[in-house]
Structure 1
Amino acid sequence: MREAFAVAFGAEAAGIWSAPGRVNLIGEHTDYNGGLALPFGIDRRTRVAVRLRDDHVVRVASDFADAQAGGVVETTLDRAAQASGWSRYVLGAAHVLRRELGVPGTGFDALVSSDVPVGVGVSSSAALESAVLVALDELWGLGVERRAMIRLGQLVENEVVGAPTGTLDQSAVLLAERDHAVLLDFRAGTAEQVPLGFEAAGLEILVIDSLVRHDHATGGYGERRRECEEAARIAGVPTLREIAVDDVEAWAGRMPAAVHRRLRHVVTDTDRAARVAGFVRAGRPREIGPILTDGHRSQRDDFEDSVPAIDAAVDAAVAAGALGARLTGGGFGGAAIALVDVAASPRIQREVADAVEAAGHARPVVFAVHASQGARRDPEA
């Protein structure tokens, strides 16, 4: 990256900062409903090499295949909020930092490189935003705490990108620790590091990329969020977290059927997140598989944010011997995850890809991930 940076900008980078993608083990669409989620950072990272300038010009380049045709994106800090395309995640982070902290900042050159798949549901956008935020925080000498940085990343998504997302992705990416998941309680505003114990148990997570792409800024995500808000309004609660699992069915018939299904998914998935966290805390990670698969049924039938290729992947993974599998991320495409024995992982990867392709879908890309460290300045080589 240092060599590529020098070629792109004719100068040496001050450093390289990176942030991981994330997998959400369980707890989907619970963040903006005050619930629980259990994500972890993965060992696929977005890196950004940066140097400051002595003016307000910002130049951004990337080795993304679809970005090379556009070359270097050049603008100024004052116009950063008007960015479009992939560069809005970089420029949006600079804009939000300046506005929210009331600092002038200074211009910079940035080169982005990433092996976090885009549009898969593993938070490629949050990884990019977070890598830029930690880089500019250090270079501009701001000293922003990680919990405050989470909100800044959400503002980039909501205001600059236009995606009505919560804070799950930024929380996972910024707070992740190796071999841990982060139990996020969105009502209490707390984050607890929970050791996963997958390696000791001989387990790993497979990501099954369906190649069906989503876009939270324009897709069904916003509609589902509005339905959840309608459910809360009808139930007379600030968020769906206030509804107990045992009370879910009492609301059937008191709101539109589809809205009730959204309520049921959110409430039961918060319960599933609590149970999964309890099992891994107790050193019993092999027992979470059925809970993951039950979570997929909830997303497929109640939240209705799955797609046929994802359903086929989940079914194929379980049939091949996975302990459990489910859609991960915001849905409407993206990826499934499967909890598998390490020894069986290569076979399961092949069988899942074969089965999904045989069912008439694109052959998925399947790869293993492991819980990794959160956003940071990368150590010098």
Structure 2
Amino acid sequence: ALECAVAFALNDLFARGYSLKELALLAQKAENKYVGVPCGIMDQSVSLMATSGSALLLDCRDLETRLIPFDLAASGLQLLIIDTQVQHTLVDGGYAQRRQSCESAVAKLGIVSLRDLSFSDLQEAKNLLSEEEYKRARHSVTEIARVGKAVDALRAKDFLTLGRLINESHHSLRDDYEVSCPELNCAVDTAISLGAVGARMVGGGFGGSAIALAKTEDIGRIESAIKEAFTASKFHAPRFFTSLPSDGARIEPLT
């Protein structure tokens, strides 16, 4: 978000004329080439293109975007962000290894992208992959399917189905992609046990934050329970923020 805000400001200050899509690509290039993280373009895109009250559906093949209504406030819901205080770095190899496993699976299966693979296709080709490649590919294939179902749930304002999909996503990240950690699992499991509609880790994993979709009146109770669970497990005290879908980078007048 900081990277994209700076890029947006410089683009405006020096009248460079880059589109939001071009700025997202430049930000991704900076992370890939300068920082050394082989990341995708999701975070940069939403940091620049998000709109209040909506989720951003991004097609990474052509970077086309669509806004999906996501008015949490009208439904009495909020996103609770749980910062586990576990420091993580995406340049230490773990993130890159998982991407490499997916790319290796794509090469062995003779396809262009895991987008080209259905779950049944993956099951039939399981013997062509190592166990690790299969698990990483299974996460990607099932996560792609969950995105489509989540869009349908949002359009129908079916937050119970959305919550179930969020939970399934965390389980897949934990078990198949193996990028979670005890603190993230504790935050997610505790939030769900206290009535959160859904919860999952976010970001590249190995630490960082989780989110919980919950009724506004339940937020305080969930925060307290997570604090207690972290104390009982001798984890560092977590930090909490609440959020609603909001606008991406923009110019704010000083007066």
- Which residue of structure 1 lines up, in the alignment, with residue 194 of structure 2? 320
- Which residue of structure 2 lines up, in the alignment, with residue 251 of structure 1? 125
- Which residue of structure 2 lines up, in the alignment, with residue 263 of structure 1? 137
- CA–CA distance in structure 2, aligned partners of residues 296 and 348 of structure 1: 18
2:172 to 293, 298, 319: 298
In the TM superposition, what is the alpha-carbon distance from 1:149 to its structure 2 partner? 1.0
- CA–CA distance in structure 1, aligned partners of residues 178 and 125 of structure 2: 19
In the TM superposition, what is the alpha-carbon distance from 1:187 to its structure 2 partner? 2.3
Report which of the two structures shows the higher radius of gyration computed on alpha carbons. 1
Unpaired runs of at least 5, structure 1: 1-126
In the TM superposition, what is the alpha-carbon distance from 1:151 to its structure 2 partner? 0.6
In the TM superposition, what is the alpha-carbon distance from 1:356 to its structure 2 partner? 2.5
1:176 to 50, 61, 65: 50
- CA–CA distance in structure 2, aligned partners of residues 253 and 301 of structure 1: 20
- The structure that is strand-richer by fraction is 1
**Is the 2:71–2:245 contact (alpha carbons within 8 Å) kept by the matching residues of 1?**
no
In the TM superposition, what is the alpha-carbon distance from 1:269 to its structure 2 partner? 0.5
- CA–CA distance in structure 1, aligned partners of residues 88 and 152 of structure 2: 32
- Which residue of structure 2 lines up, in the alignment, with residue 139 of structure 1? 13
Over residues 19-55 of structure 1, what are the superposed CA-to-partner deviations in whole Å (9 max), with x where a residue is unaligned?
Answer: xxxxxxxxxxxxxxxxxxxxxxxxxxxxxxxxxxxxx
- Identity %, equivalent residues: 37
Over residues 52-71 of structure 1, what are the superposed CA-to-partner deviations in whole Å (9 max), with x where a residue is unaligned?
Answer: xxxxxxxxxxxxxxxxxxxx
**Is the 1:187–1:241 contact (alpha carbons within 8 Å) kept by the matching residues of 2?**
no
In the TM superposition, what is the alpha-carbon distance from 1:364 to its structure 2 partner? 1.4
Is 1:162 equivalent to 2:36 in the alignment?
Answer: yes
1:283 to 153, 157, 167: 157
Is 1:343 equivalent to 2:217 in the alignment?
Answer: yes
In the TM superposition, what is the alpha-carbon distance from 1:180 to its structure 2 partner? 1.0
What secondary structure sits across from 2:127 in the alignment?
coil
In structure 2, do the counterparts of structure 1 residues 213 and 219 end up closer, same or farther at CA, with 3 Å as the change threshold?
farther
Match for 2:79: what amino acid? I
- The structure that is helix-richer by fraction is 2
**Is the 1:153–1:170 contact (alpha carbons within 8 Å) kept by the matching residues of 2?**
yes
**Is the 1:150–1:174 contact (alpha carbons within 8 Å) kept by the matching residues of 2?**
yes
- CA–CA distance in structure 2, aligned partners of residues 224 and 173 of structure 1: 24
**Is the 1:324–1:339 contact (alpha carbons within 8 Å) kept by the matching residues of 2?**
yes
Over residues 336-371 of structure 1, what are the superposed CA-to-partner deviations in whole Å (9 max), with x where a residue is unaligned?
Answer: 111100011111111112112212322211221111
- CA–CA distance in structure 2, aligned partners of residues 132 and 366 of structure 1: 25
- CA–CA distance in structure 1, aligned partners of residues 194 and 87 of structure 2: 25
- Which residue of structure 1 lines up, in the alignment, with residue 112 of structure 2? 238
Is 1:307 equivalent to 2:174 in the alignment?
Answer: no
What secondary structure sits across from 2:25 in the alignment?
helix
**Is the 2:159–2:197 contact (alpha carbons within 8 Å) kept by the matching residues of 1?**
no
**Is the 1:176–1:374 contact (alpha carbons within 8 Å) kept by the matching residues of 2?**
yes
Over residues 275-296 of structure 1, what are the superposed CA-to-partner deviations in whole Å (9 max), with x where a residue is unaligned?
Answer: 1111111222343111111111
CA RMSD of aligned residues (A): 1.2
Is 1:362 equivalent to 2:236 in the alignment?
Answer: yes
Which structure ranks higher in relative contact order (CA pairs < 8 Å, sequence separation ≥ 6)? 2
Match for 2:246: what amino acid? S
Over residues 182-230 of structure 1, what are the superposed CA-to-partner deviations in whole Å (9 max), with x where a residue is unaligned?
Answer: 0111124311111112111111111111111111122411111111100
In the TM superposition, what is the alpha-carbon distance from 1:243 to its structure 2 partner? 0.4
1:273 to 113, 123, 147: 147
In the TM superposition, what is the alpha-carbon distance from 1:245 to its structure 2 partner? 2.3
Match for 2:140: what amino acid? V
Is 1:334 equivalent to 2:208 in the alignment?
Answer: yes
What secondary structure sits across from 1:253 in the alignment?
helix
Match for 1:170: what amino acid? Q
Is 1:373 equivalent to 2:254 in the alignment?
Answer: no
Is 1:352 equivalent to 2:226 in the alignment?
Answer: yes
Unpaired runs of at least 5, structure 2: none
**Is the 2:196–2:212 contact (alpha carbons within 8 Å) kept by the matching residues of 1?**
yes
- CA–CA distance in structure 2, aligned partners of residues 284 and 144 of structure 1: 37
- CA–CA distance in structure 1, aligned partners of residues 47 and 204 of structure 2: 16
